[in-house]
Amino acid sequence: MGIDLNRVTIVEIVLRVFIFLVFFRISTSDDLPANFVFGDSLVDVGNNNYIVSFSKADFLPNGIDFGRPTGRFTNGRTIVDIMGQELGCGLTPPYLEPTTVGPVVLKGVNYASGGGGILNFTGKVFVGRLNLDAQIDNFANTRQDIISNIGPPLALNLFKKALFSVTIGSNDFINNYLTPGVTFSEHGFSSPELFVASMIARLRLQLTRLFNLGARKIVVANVGPIGCIPNQRDTNPTAGDSCVTFPNQLAQLFNIQLKGLIAELSSNLAGSLFVYADVNHILEDILQNYAAFGFDNPSSACCYMAGRFGGLIPCGPTSKVCWDRSKYVFWDPYHPTDAANVIIAKRLLDGGSSDIWPMNIRQLYQL
């Protein structure tokens, strides 16, 4: 019995048209732009679950207020989770999750990875992690999938309207420059100034690459007051009850140059909308005025095992957990609680120029 080639061709055409219509309908089903997320453990929603790494959070008590541990390094939601919910686009799925394929990616993808940094050397202590270069490689794969499925015109329009956020840099200090026993003289990064300059130079290339891949609305968060996290407090006990000065100076050195980089890229890349998110300022405000924000404890980890501030051992199954998570700024030695993330997220969404510049995320999203 012979095969009807014409019939096969017609079936293929019908199938292709059906697939196109499915993707087109999902990509145009509402006016909410897609949300593409890049960063480290502050915004990782489970990518590290799928790689061999010492930087994982897929176990209790992580996620205790989320309903289950998912790979988020906090008791509840990340900053990007909360912003997504506030904007009406929901939770953005991790890139490495097997179900993050097909029409799902048209709403956005989260590429963030715990332990990841701007520099590729950063986070080697964790073995597996996706640094920013690798995350952008993964976005390039998503981009090609979207182009293949809905065609270049629709895809490029999707990227033009989409929100891209980058929250990275803390690990370059905490798990790189400030790591005991690591020396950078052989790399030419012996001074803080040279190390920060190397971060900015690499980030310039990375953000420019994102732009060249179609990103236009790009929010870049600065590095928070890392000298105030429980880990740094416990590893630098001579600071007493105060935040540790040197890590905060490193963060400020980077942040000043980052703001200049944002202005430079906005000027040089025609059609770009770069936004500088001053998370450092917001967190400093929370830490200095914690009682006004409803917190009782601004310095210790809620999930703790060792150290005066609970900062010596990462949160794990045998850790103790504070009774009222909403009263703590920090969940573990490194990361904020859901309660702190809510404040940060809402100020980035609707805050003024002292929080986020030159516009807030809601204004950017609605453009």
What superfamily in CATH does domain 34-366 come from? Answer: SGNH hydrolase (3.40.50.1110)
Q: Which two tokens stand for residue 191?
A: 């001074």
- Residue 34 · residue 110 · CB < 8 Å: no
- pLDDT at residue 323, rounded to an integer: 96
**The token pair that represents 102 in the structure block:** 């097909």
Question: What are the average pLDDT values for consecutive 10-residue runs of the chain, which has 367 residues?
Answer: 52 48 48 94 98 98 97 98 96 98 97 98 95 98 98 97 98 92 55 96 98 98 98 97 98 98 98 98 98 98 98 97 98 98 98 98 95
Span between the terminal Cα atoms of the chain, in Å: 59
Rg (CA), the chain: 21
CB 362 within 8 A of CB 349: yes
Confidence at residue 124, expressed as pLDDT on a 0 to 100 scale: 93
Which pair of structure tokens corresponds to residue 50? 């799928």
Residues 80, 165: contact at Cβ < 8 Å?
A: yes
What's phi and psi for 277, nearest 5 deg? -95, 115
Question: Any idea which residue has 């292709």 for tokens?
Answer: 16
Predicted TM-score (pTM) of this structure: 0.92
Catalytic entry in 165, 198, 335, 338? 335
Told to judge if 335 belongs to the known catalytic residues of this protein, a careful annotator would answer: yes
pLDDT at 189: 61
What pLDDT, on the 0 to 100 scale, is given for residue 2?
52
The catalytically annotated residue of 172, 332, 338, 355 is 332
Domain residue ranges of the chain, discontinuous segments joined by +? 34-366
Other beta carbons within 10 angstroms of residue 219's beta carbon come to 25
Query: Which candidate, 63, 79, 82, places its Cα nearest to that of 71?
Result: 63
Annotated active-site residue 332? The verdict is: yes
**Predicted local confidence at residue 10, as pLDDT:** 58
pLDDT score recorded for residue 185: 41
Count of C-beta atoms within a 10 Å radius of residue 353: 11
281 part of the active site: no
Q: Give the residue among 269, 274, 270, 282 at the shortest CA–CA distance from 367.
A: 274
Q: Which residues neighbour 171 within 8 Å (Cβ) at sequence distance 6 or greater?
A: 40, 41, 115, 116, 117, 122, 123
> Of 27, 40, 41, 281, which one is the catalytic site residue?
41
Predicted pLDDT of residue 154: 97
